[in-house]
Structure 1
Amino acid sequence: MERLDYRAVQKRELEKLPERTILFLEENPDTLFSDVVELPFLLVSKMFWDVSKMYDVPVRGKEMVLLDGANGFAEIYYMPVYPRYDCLSKETIFNNDHSMIRELMLDKNKIKYVPPVFEVAEVEKDYLICRLDFIESILRRGAKGIKLAELKVE
């Protein structure tokens, strides 16, 4: 992490980050490269990135290479900046300081014209919302290690 300006990462200031960064992983012979990494910041696999582009999602990002040199594992990821939209219903339930969502509900009128992949603008934490056809597309391509949750739309 010392290779990255973490403040720039948090503020999505891509211009302050190098085009490609190599991030060294803790050595582990059982490393699994999932298609979405949530922590310490959002990363998506090359396949996820390519499908986003195929669906004309206006995403920007920087290339990150995750490397476990001891075991000879490496994978290309992207630190994406997906468009952010105010999309939450009034029925959405937040935690006490409004920084995280306990129960997410989308407002159907607010999501009429959003791309197939976007982020929720109303909170600091990254909430990546994907349309069903996009999810089916990445699953057909063998997506692994992702957590899916069905969302309610009001």
Structure 2
Amino acid sequence: MDYFLLKQDVRYTNVPMLKKVMETIDPWKLYDLQPEDIVKPLMFHVKADAESTFVDYIEGPISLISDSLKRLFQAYVPELPLKLTILTQIEQKIQKNYYIPFVERLTAVHPESEWNLDQSVLKKLVLQADAIRGHKIFRIQESTAPMIIVRLDVAESILRRDYTGITLEQVRVQ
């Protein structure tokens, strides 16, 4: 089965930028954020203007998905925990609902993967076939960056719909 890394499309340069993330979420919990760490919906002020494109997937510092992408994720993983996050830009009077997807984390990096010198950033990802079998959407446990992987059927569903700002990069499986 083929798997793909879900990424924010770098061709979209005028996207909302989250402000004061570390003041809203404890920096020590940012990497390992759990649904129970968020009691009420989060609200982030964003740096955006009238021409900014609110993409369907915001990659970092925390992964955020739009309402329409949330529905697709829930179609494949109905029990997926999600937390409402409101993005707001007061001057432009913009407010959009996004969700933090608490995707299952899997220890799935194959030894043939390439890391940087201090083993903190994956340069080339290779997945272990046994570890990911049967999983449709998951996150890489070993990576500090939010790396969401989707199976081929999910990737095809994403491509068939009119999502904005999403790219899919095929990942090798051993």
| TM norm structure 1 | 0.88
**Equivalent residue for 1:45?**
66
Which amino acid in 1 is paired with 2:56?
D
Contact persistence 2:31–2:144 (CA under 8 A): no
Which amino acid in 2 is paired with 1:122?
E
1:33 aligned to 2:85?
A: no
Distance in structure 2 (CA, Å) of the matches to 1:57 and 1:99: 32
Task: Give the number of the structure whose residues are more often strand, by fraction.
Answer: 2
**Equivalent residue for 2:6?**
none
Query: What is the percentage of aligned positions where both structures have the same residue?
Result: 25
Which amino acid in 1 is paired with 2:37?
K
Distance in structure 2 (CA, Å) of the matches to 1:57 and 1:86: 22
Question: Residues 27 and 37 from structure 1, CA distance in 2 versus in 1: closer, same or farther, beyond 3 angstroms?
Answer: closer
Return the match for 2:126 from 95, 101, 105.
105
Return the match for 2:97 from 56, 62, 76.
76
Any gaps of 5 or more consecutive residues in structure 2?
A: 1-19
1:61-72 matched pairs, under 5 angstroms = 61-72=82-93
1:113-152 matched pairs, under 5 angstroms = 113-114=134-135, 116-152=136-172
Return the match for 1:87 from 108, 119, 122.
108
Secondary structure of the corresponding residue to residue 134 of structure 2: coil
Question: Residues 57 and 131 from structure 1, CA distance in 2 versus in 1: closer, same or farther, beyond 3 angstroms?
Answer: farther
Distance in structure 2 (CA, Å) of the matches to 1:125 and 1:20: 23
Aligned length: 153
| TM norm structure 2 | 0.79
**Equivalent residue for 1:16?**
37
Any gaps of 5 or more consecutive residues in structure 1?
A: none
Q: Which of 20-29 and 55-64 deviates more?
A: 55-64
